[in-house]
Structure 1
Amino acid sequence: MPARIGPAPPVFIGSEIYRALPFARHHPLSIPRVSTVMDLARALGWLPRERYIASPRARTPALSAFHNPVYLEVLQRAEATGDVSEAERERHGLGTLSNPIHPLMFTRPATSAGGALLAAERVRHGGIVHVPGAGTHHAMADRAGGFCYLNDPVLTILHLRRLGLHRVAYVDIDAHHCDGVQAGLAGAPGVLLLSVHEAGRWPFTGALEDDGGGNCLNLPVPRDFNDTEMAHVREHLILPAIEAFAPEAIVLQCGADAVTEDPLSRLALSNNAHVGVLRALRRMTERLIVTGGGGYNPWSVARCWTRIWAEIAGQTVPDRLPREAQEILDALAWPGRAAGRNPPRDWFETLIDPPRPGTLRPGVAAGVATLRARLAAIARLP
């Protein structure tokens, strides 16, 4: 197995499209996320022009590698007309509270998918790419779900395989199970899927015993899952699974909704846990793509993903942010959320969360042990 990332310099794929906020005020995604990461990284001097790539928009032929052409047609028509029929709403999950009709409902996810596909091409011969706008892991081949209209992780993994990489691992540490990725790639040769997600949380999939036809490791974890427990999962499940499978490339979905301040989960991680997983995986591959995903507190998601980029780019994170960076965080708002009315000062002054250690509970350790027993089979996956 490769020992470390190859010589190509790391790059960040973003887009100005993320400055638009097309979701209604009540929607969890009615907050700036990727644009704040871009602004913070630039304010800190971590995103010079040569490290930034503007994301292309994926076209229908590329999206059709996974998505049903009829669904793609309906999605584009809904963006253009602002409406879907009742039959289309029922069939494709469009025009719902989670996946509403809006003016960028095709263009924005197609841009995220285009960035993820470009990332696959960039790492083909070695390297690491951060695509925080990607990571939309709930969309099905012909149906939107969980705020996701297109499934860029599936498209990325399929593209890596087309580029000649025979073994690809997908590691997902979002608070929610990657149901769309598993539906699209369960049983697929040359692919390992590993998800660490909150038990009993929407979409209510990813049970411990669900092996997805043999290539899925699902670890549902309890409420208040802490940094100590994530470190145990990292060292005793994620890294041994990667070592057993020996992938040529890794895609890490780094959703920020597992941090304790996020409103859509009840986990208790600090962003140190995310950095710890990234740091460990980076040592195990020559090709790494790091995406975003969930994250619905504008301060915690921006701080987490900016810190992720610092780790990727080899930058030292200051204990206290300079004034220009603090002003970017000061300008954020969180409509309709009580926590946004009087947020703590550390959300503005530092990217580094205080550690959130805790007890390693027997249920977490038992889940890890159960999945470790399957590693011999993982090593034999075609």
Structure 2
Amino acid sequence: MDSPRFIGAEIFRHSSYGRWHPLRVPRVSTVMDLSRALGWLPREQFITAPRARQKALEVWHTPEYLQALQRVEATQQATPEDTRRHDIGSVTNPVYPEIFRRPATAAGGSLLAGELLRNGGIIYNPPGGTHHGMPDRANGFCYLNDPVLAMISLRRNGAQRIAYVDIDAHHCDGVAAGFHGDPDCLMISVHEERLWPRTGPLEDDAGGSALNLPVPRGLNDSEMAFIRYELILPGVAAFRPDAVVLLCGADGVEEDPLAHLSLSNNAHWEVVAALMGMAPRFLVLGGGGYNPWSVGRLWSGVWATLNGHEVPDRLPREAEEVLRGLSFEGNRRGKNPPEHWFTTLRDSPREGPVRQEIRDRVAVLRQRLH
């Protein structure tokens, strides 16, 4: 394809996990609206995500689980057995009106991306990134695992060797389960240590297929740059993948309410830019991110990076109105949002010293590259 493609859908505009759930905030619709307001999303680059059918999802998820999700959506009620067996209806994974349609649309976008990348190119699917989902149960806000489905689709369409890079604040336990011990998959995960799901310790190599880097609280831009240069890029280059999948979760930025890292959105954009061109196929997915302003600004900048658009110092009025129209009820960060959350996309850099514990952990992982 000649230019990157953006996969989105209107289902994400008003769909919410509930009034007090972290995923009550609009995310994908904000990125779509901001990108259009900035003139970055012409019709020819936008693709409406299809809703994946059960048969397509069965390449990784069990029929029983998929049937349970669809039944619960129809009845809007989970039985005790649904919760016990599939964790449907728990506080983390609640029943809501689009409990099957919403994740099936994100998964449909990721499955389609694998097909569209058959001959190479760049695709951005911000609804995707549900990396905690398990074959037979919901997990960590994730009812389906679209990264796993995307990678299966890429394999079906000619990409045998896949490098999966995950910079979400939470470890990709579902993807690790899906590709444990796969010699043609390299998983690199940079995640906050001791943060839920508390998986992915340094010593866990997922059967030889993963480089797990748990990082301490307060990770800054300089430390992420060090990790990018010393681990992510050498690891991907040595692996020589047919495709790179990047999960670009926005919960590592300082303003996110669920994690404790201190990155600016520049750190994420630099990872995106650095991975471009490292394989003929590049798929970028969303992931976590629970502050509506920080996730909308970050993910819009990802799209700018993929297209080579310059991020303006001051947003035009139409884009500013998109950000001023957001609210963040029930969180202290929503009470007095700073003015630059409305008027800019780019954060001020958050640089600092590179702590020795990060240097030491990266050194351990680099030894495994040889």
Q: Which amino acid aligns with 1:52?
A: F
Tell me by how many angstroms 1:225 deviates: 0.4
Tell me by how many angstroms 1:283 deviates: 2.9
Q: Which has the higher contact order (CA 8 A, sep 6+)?
A: 1
Q: Which amino acid aligns with 1:343?
A: P
Q: Which amino acid aligns with 2:256?
A: D
Tell me the residue number matched to 1:81.
75
**Displacement over 6 Å in runs of 4+:** none
Partner SS state of residue 72, structure 1: helix
2: CA distance, partners of 1:8 / 1:122: 12
**Residue 212 of structure 2 is aligned to residue 218 of structure 1:** yes
For structure 2, the 5+ residue unaligned runs are none
**Residue 40 of structure 2 is aligned to residue 46 of structure 1:** yes
2: CA distance, partners of 1:82 / 1:73: 14
**Residue 165 of structure 2 is aligned to residue 171 of structure 1:** yes
The TM-score normalised by the length of structure 2 is: 0.99
Partner SS state of residue 257, structure 1: coil
Alpha-carbon contact 1:59-1:110 (below 8 Å) kept: yes
Alpha-carbon contact 2:34-2:322 (below 8 Å) kept: yes
Matches within 5 A, 1:1-382: 8-376=2-370
For structure 1, the 5+ residue unaligned runs are 1-6, 377-382
Tell me by how many angstroms 1:189 deviates: 3.4
1: CA distance, partners of 2:333 / 2:195: 22
1: CA distance, partners of 2:154 / 2:191: 25
2: CA distance, partners of 1:107 / 1:356: 38
2: CA distance, partners of 1:60 / 1:163: 20
| Matched positions, count | 370
Tell me by how many angstroms 1:63 deviates: 0.5
Tell me by how many angstroms 1:159 deviates: 1.2
Alpha-carbon contact 1:21-1:31 (below 8 Å) kept: no
Partner SS state of residue 164, structure 2: strand
Partner SS state of residue 208, structure 2: coil
Partner SS state of residue 336, structure 1: coil
RMSD between superposed Cα atoms in Å: 0.8
Alpha-carbon contact 1:251-1:291 (below 8 Å) kept: yes
The TM-score normalised by the length of structure 1 is: 0.96
Alpha-carbon contact 1:187-1:212 (below 8 Å) kept: yes
Alpha-carbon contact 1:253-1:293 (below 8 Å) kept: yes
Partner SS state of residue 250, structure 1: strand
1: CA distance, partners of 2:242 / 2:178: 20
Moved more, 213-222 or 115-124: 115-124
Moved more, 312-321 or 250-259: 312-321
2: CA distance, partners of 1:360 / 1:40: 34
1:177-199 C-alpha deviation (Å, 9 max, x unpaired): 00011011111231111100000
Partner SS state of residue 12, structure 1: strand
Q: Which amino acid aligns with 1:243?
A: A
Tell me by how many angstroms 1:21 deviates: 2.8
2: CA distance, partners of 1:305 / 1:54: 17
Alpha-carbon contact 1:258-1:268 (below 8 Å) kept: yes
Alpha-carbon contact 1:186-1:213 (below 8 Å) kept: yes
Partner SS state of residue 197, structure 1: strand
Partner SS state of residue 130, structure 1: strand
Tell me by how many angstroms 1:8 deviates: 2.7
Q: Which amino acid aligns with 2:165?
A: V
1: CA distance, partners of 2:109 / 2:209: 26
1: CA distance, partners of 2:193 / 2:312: 35
Alpha-carbon contact 2:183-2:208 (below 8 Å) kept: no
